Structure 1
Amino acid sequence: MSHSRWDTYKAKRLREMEADAQPHAEYEQAGRDLELGDQLRAIRMRRGLSQKIVAERSGMSQPALSRIEGGGGIPDIATLLRLGAAMAVRFRVELVVDDDITEIEPLTVHHRRLENA
């Protein structure tokens, strides 16, 4: 998906989410998926890597990586580790336990460059 088409698609999904008076778990999950996909794409692009190269290095198909970057779902921890290694970054995933959960916070992926990369 080209950058301008992606921006249009993302804006449409976010508008749909905001237009719904009652929040739905599916919309909230879609928002988190989009955010993670945006973060992964931004890291890949800052590193000057194509989807094809990152996909090959991480042992996945380019369409699978495109789907993740497009908000098509949150990858499991093993996949995140492979993607990080492919982009020479290390991800830290923070999990917080709160007995009084009133709102679900989006998954945030922090990254830092690996030394000797």
Structure 2
Amino acid sequence: MGHSRWETYKAKRLREMEADAQPHPEYEQAGRDLELGDQLREIRKRRGLSQKVVAERSGMSQPALSRIEGGGGIPDIATLLRLGAAMGVRFRVELVVDDDTTEIEPLTVHHRQLATA
């Protein structure tokens, strides 16, 4: 999906999310999926890597990586760690519990560049 098409698609999904007067768990999840996908794409591009290279290095298909970057779902932690290694970054995943509702908040992903020799 080209950059302008991606931005249009993302804006449409976010508008749909905001248009719903009451919070909808599926829209909230879609927003988190989009945010994670955006973060992964940004890191990959900053590192000057193609989807094909990152997918090969992480042992996944390029279409699977494209789906993740496009907000098609959150990868499991093992996949996230492989993606980080493929891009030369280390991810720290935090799970935060909201004391008022005791529900688990969305994953927060931080990254830092791995030292190079």
Q: CA deviation at 1:104?
A: 6.7
2:69 maps to what in 1?
69
Q: Describe the shift of the 1:21–1:44 C-alpha distance in structure 2 as closer, same or farther (beyond 3 A).
A: same
Higher relative contact order (CA 8 A, sep 6+): 1
Give the TM-score, by structure 2 length: 0.94
Which secondary structure state, in structure 2, belongs to the residue aligned with residue 90 of structure 1?
strand
Deviations 1:63-100 (A, max 9, x none): 00000000000000000000000000000001112331
Q: CA deviation at 1:59?
A: 0.3
Deviations 1:7-47 (A, max 9, x none): 00000000000001111100000000000000000000000
5+ long unaligned stretches in structure 1:
none
5+ long unaligned stretches in structure 2:
none
Q: CA deviation at 1:116?
A: 1.4
Aligned residues with identical type, % of pairs: 91
Give the TM-score, by structure 1 length: 0.94
Q: CA deviation at 1:108?
A: 2.0
CA RMSD of aligned residues (A): 1.6
Count of aligned positions: 117
